Amino acid sequence: MRGLVFRAFDRGGMIFLGILFGLILLLALSNLIMPVGHPLHAPTYLVSLIGKYLTYALLALSVDLIWGFCGILSLGHGAFFALGGYAMGMYLMRQIGDRGVYGNPELPDFMVFLNYSELPWYWHGFDMFWFAAIMIVFVPGLLAFIFGWFAFRSRVTGVYLSIITQAMTYALMLAFFRNNMGFGGNNGLTDFKDLLGFDLQNDGTRVGLLFASAMALGLGFLICKAVTRSKYGKVITAIRDAESRTRFLGYRVDRYKLAVFTLSACMAGVAGALYVPQVGIINPSEFTPANSIEVVIWVAVGGRGTLYGAVIGAILVNYAKTYLTGALPEIWLFALGGLFVFVTLFLPRGIVGAVNGSGDGGPSPIMTKVRDWRAARAMEGRS
Amino acid sequence: MSTAFNTSMADSILYLDGVNVSFDGFRALNDLSLVLDAGEMRAIIGPNGAGKTTMMDIITGKTRPDSGQVVFEGNVDLTRHDEAAIAELGIGRKFQKPTVFETQTVHDNLELALKADRSVRSSLLWMLSNEASRRIDEILAITRLGDHANEIAGSLSHGQKQWLEIGMLLAQDPKLLLVDEPAAGMTDDETAETARLLKEIAESHSVVVVEHDMTFVRDLGVKVTVLHEGSVLAEGSLDAVSADKRVIEVYLGR
């Protein structure tokens, strides 16, 4: 156990977390201490925006853990994120109490509107934060466990696995769109008032959520470090590179995959739970297959298999998204697609890989590509 | 089943009887029977398509036989186990094409192969003990990879990868080693070195070697089984089987 804990703390990881927390602290201080209108004042919307990016970063981290290290390309991780988000949303709905439009102390507004006479059984317990907190981890984890148990035992790998993860999130999306699922149909859950008694509109609560997101990201990062730097991490990397060889060494590949897949889904659930109070709504569109694919692009852009690359990728791509959907909304999807093509062709190891070089001290891949391309052009010119 | 058969099954490390496998109507193994005594080293030769690799697949649980008995150590029915379970029972395999974990270091490759509890829990909590570390150093020395311990396995030469894979087999410390064409693609010096390495390993393990290279088989100097069209054609010393007319016809004479 001691070894596992120690391995979480390596120098590079500490520097990365130090920078991350330093920036978050600066942002928080400039929001809370600087007066409104001061050039150094950070508006509250920015605090929540960064908080949202951090939850995306945690989601990207969870995808990097399985894709970058174990080769499991999940195109449905948004589902685990959304389930965690719904669990949090259910708690927040119950917190509204009789302050809803219909003033029903027991039933959330949408249930009154849909003529529910009593709370569905699966809504019980969500008035207690501790119960909701357990469900945030347990529900995505359980789904991942069941899904993974069948998929990995049947040795479904590669693109086939990716396709069924897409089907999973799509099926959940359709299910959550139905009014009689009891999750608010296509409107989802919204109009939240407070969390643990703190008013969600309050600047202090916003900063608190920002910190909670940063803490969750930091903890997730340390867990990923500990896991990937252990012998377990070497085994999953071996599975990624040569699955059947690993099996011939006596490792139960399905169990190793199942463990990392479940852990990753739990992390995605926590990310979703922190996302919901900061954006103020959770609805079935979070299950959209395209969302999950976007997460994979964040990781690819940042650099898979590096952990901090996933965080950087998630923040940069989402910053670009926020900027472009505001400035040039019709461009965004083309930009995202173009970015993915560019990264796949020229930065196979992402931004992090391009900056760090090829690891064995050689030139960075982007320069190698440029050189190859020039050489190819020169050859064509001659013939 | 005769009494004589039973005795030999009890003493054997590996016992195959009447094994049949077909793929889409092609009979890869045709009533194959083979007995390997504990501690024995055996060379298997035969032309392409004779069923050598299929036999390895059957023993290691990659392929299920249509019929026949596959028994390990006289009492374990291998057809009831999967790859991981068979590896845990003590059967190690080296593939024809060297398959090492290319993105990890030579040391990590050996650490992964090293005999230890294979459960998820113990791999999370695993710490490299002094004893394990010593054993890895020993294997690095035997396979002459000591200077490359911290290099990425993917950067090794072909011959070095073959040795690393043999080293991984040693680290696994199986009771029975299945070695598929260890000398493929090697220079003459490397081939001789590999034969030396295998002979050393055979002193304390049972070994089955599949090989095309006759010089190599001669270097090993062990009993030879000739496979042809999925069954045993001849068995004996290399000189005896080389003199067998049927063997010359299907294989050596070509």
Span B162-214, pLDDT tens digits: 889 989 988 998 999 999 888 888 888 888 888 888 888 888 889 999 987 88
Query: Which range, of A213-222, A324-333, B4-13, averages the lowest pLDDT?
Result: B4-13
Q: Between chains, do A3 and B127 touch, taking CB under 8 Å as contact?
A: yes
Contacts of A248 in chain B (CB under 8 A): 60, 83, 87, 92-93
Confirm or reject contact between B111 and chain A (CB < 8 A). Answer: yes
Has residue A373 got a pLDDT over 70? no
Q: Residue A379 has what pLDDT? A: 62
Q: What is the pLDDT of residues A71-120, one digit of tens each?
A: 999 999 999 999 999 999 999 999 988 888 888 888 898 998 888 888 99
Phi and psi angles of residue B232, each rounded to the nearest 5 degrees, phi first:
-75, 125
Cα B113 to Cα B118: distance, rounded to the nearest angstrom: 10
Q: Between chains, do B104 and A234 touch, taking CB under 8 Å as contact?
A: yes
Confirm or reject contact between B83 and chain A (CB < 8 A). Answer: yes
Q: Residue B110 has what pLDDT? A: 95
Query: Which range, of A5-9, A177-181, B97-101, averages the lowest pLDDT?
Result: A5-9
Q: Residue A142 has what pLDDT? A: 98
The predicted complex's ipTM stands at 0.84
Instruction: Please indicate, yes or no, whether the overall pTM of this predicted structure exceeds 0.95.
Output: no
The total of other beta-carbon atoms located within 10 Å of residue B70's CB is 24
The helix (H) or strand (E) run that includes residue B219 is: helix B214-220
**Span A192-198, mean pLDDT?**
90
Has residue A376 got a pLDDT over 70? no
Q: Residue A375 has what pLDDT? A: 64
Regions in chain B scoring below 70 on pLDDT: 1-8, 251-254
Has residue A372 got a pLDDT over 80? no
Confirm or reject contact between B223 and chain A (CB < 8 A). Answer: no
Q: Residue A313 has what pLDDT? A: 94
Sign of CA dihedral A278, A280, A281, A285: negative
Phi and psi angles of residue B207, each rounded to the nearest 5 degrees, phi first:
-135, 140
Has residue A1 got a pLDDT over 50? yes
Q: How far is A88 from chain B (nearest CA, A)?
A: 30
Q: Between chains, do B124 and A230 touch, taking CB under 8 Å as contact?
A: yes
Contacts of B57 in chain A (CB under 8 A): none
Q: Between chains, do A252 and B99 touch, taking CB under 8 Å as contact?
A: no
Inter-CA distances, B220 with B35, B110, B181, B202, Å: 19, 25, 13, 10
| Secondary structure letter of residue B210 according to DSSP | E
Q: Between chains, do B99 and A259 touch, taking CB under 8 Å as contact?
A: no
Q: How far is B39 from chain A (nearest CA, A)?
A: 21
**Span A31-42, mean pLDDT?**
84
Q: What is the pLDDT of residues A244-280, one digit of tens each?
A: 899 989 999 999 999 999 999 999 999 999 999 999 9
- A:B CB pairs within 8 Å: 82
Confirm or reject contact between A98 and chain B (CB < 8 A). Answer: no
Q: Residue A363 has what pLDDT? A: 46
Phi and psi angles of residue A234, each rounded to the nearest 5 degrees, phi first:
-65, -35
Q: Residue B4 has what pLDDT? A: 44
Phi and psi angles of residue B15, each rounded to the nearest 5 degrees, phi first:
-140, 115
Q: Residue B24 has what pLDDT? A: 85
Q: Residue B95 has what pLDDT? A: 84
Q: Which of A291, A68, A268, A260 is nearest to A166 (CA)?
A: A291
Confirm or reject contact between B53 and chain A (CB < 8 A). Answer: no
Give the strand order in the sheet containing B41-45. Answer: B91-94, B176-180, B206-210, B41-45, B223-228, B231-236
Q: Between chains, do A250 and B60 touch, taking CB under 8 Å as contact?
A: no
Q: How far is B192 from chain A (nearest CA, A)?
A: 26
Q: Residue B101 has what pLDDT? A: 93
Contacts of A231 in chain B (CB under 8 A): 111-112, 123-124, 126
Q: Between chains, do B152 and A255 touch, taking CB under 8 Å as contact?
A: no
Q: What is the pLDDT of residues A334-360, one digit of tens each?
A: 888 898 888 888 888 888 888 876 444
Q: Residue A365 has what pLDDT? A: 52
Q: What is the pLDDT of residues A279-324, one digit of tens each?
A: 999 999 999 999 999 999 999 999 999 999 999 999 999 999 999 9
Q: Residue A262 has what pLDDT? A: 97
Q: Residues B126, B128, B131, B133: what is their CA dihedral angle, to the nearest 10 degrees? A: 150
Confirm or reject contact between B125 and chain A (CB < 8 A). Answer: yes
Longest dimension (CA), chain B: 59
Q: Residue B3 has what pLDDT? A: 40
Interface of A with B in 241-300 (CB under 8 A): 241-242, 244-253, 255-256, 259
Q: Residue A344 has what pLDDT? A: 85
Q: Residue A358 has what pLDDT? A: 47
Q: Which of A181, A173, A188 is nearest to A89 (CA)?
A: A188
- The answer to whether the beta carbons of residues B41 and B220 sit under 8 Å apart is yes
Q: Between chains, do A249 and B103 touch, taking CB under 8 Å as contact?
A: no
**Span A182-204, mean pLDDT?**
89
Has residue A371 got a pLDDT over 80? no
